[in-house]
Amino acid sequence: MFLITGLGNPGEKYKNTRHNVGFLVIDEIAKNLSTTSINNSNFKSITLKATNKNINQILAKPQTFMNLSGESVLSIADYYGIENSEIIVVHDDLDLPFGSVKFKIGGGHGGHNGLRSIDSHIGQDYIRVRIGIGKPTNKEVADYVLSDFSKEETNKLQDIISHAVKAIEAIQIEPFSKVQSTFTLK
């Protein structure tokens, strides 16, 4: 069983912000699968159960706000006995140009508070799907990540999300090195 967590902030105000690209990916995965809602308040998450190509999945969008995402991930992983090697976290990455998609296992949080929270709750050895949002040129980082994608970016976003969804599917059945070489977008 895999736990696929998209990072973001709850609420309409944040729906289309750069920081919520993880939520957007989870929404796209769920749109294409038959899902069942899991109602467990301990998860502090919008949580769905799905099966894709005979692989059981838990899809999660933590509702703790970004800085406390680790609480949700730990709660779900503990409840279902999911090992870190089967946890996939989808998140925005300032250090990658907009449209880039990269993959890694472990590593530092790079100042990302959602990853910092997850690291403090479960350690660093989980799978990361890093979606580039670029760096701000004239805004503070906090304002930038909480701002909506530009019109030009929005026009390209669906292709990026679809690519990430295909990669996440491959992560569950292919060797990780093959996924990295096949699905990395620079």
User: pTM of whole model > 0.95?
Assistant: yes
The ranges assigned to domains in the chain are 2-183
Tell me how far CA of residue 103 lies from CA of 42, 131, 168, in angstroms: 29, 9, 10
Q: Could you tell me the CA-to-CA distances from 22 to 99, 130, 138 in Å, in that order?
A: 13, 9, 24
Phi, psi of 125 (to 5 degrees): -90, 60
Q: Amino acid identity of 58?
A: I
Among all residues, which ones are annotated catalytic? 19
The answer on pLDDT for 64 being more than 90 is yes
pLDDT of 139 > 90? The answer is no
Whole-number pLDDT of residue 134: 95
CA–CA–CA angle 17, 41, 2 (5° rounding): 70
* Of the candidates 83, 74, 80, 69, the residue with the CA atom closest to the CA atom of residue 26: 69
Residues 45 and 63: their CA atoms lie apart, in Å, by 5
Whether 83 shows a pLDDT value over 90: the answer reads: yes
Average pLDDT score, the chain = 96
> pLDDT band at 53, cuts 50/70/90?
confident
The radius of gyration computed from the CA coordinates of the chain, to the nearest angstrom, equals 15
Q: For residue range 9-44, what is the model confidence (pLDDT) as tens digits?
A: 999 999 999 999 999 999 999 998 999 999 999 999
Residue with tokens 């912000």: 17
CA separation for the pair 186, 165 (Å, rounded): 17
Average pLDDT for residues 107-121, to the nearest whole number? 95
Compute the average pLDDT of residues 65-71: 96
Architecture of domain 2-183: 3-Layer(aba) Sandwich (3.40)
With beta carbons less than 8 A apart as the criterion, state whether 102 and 130 touch: yes
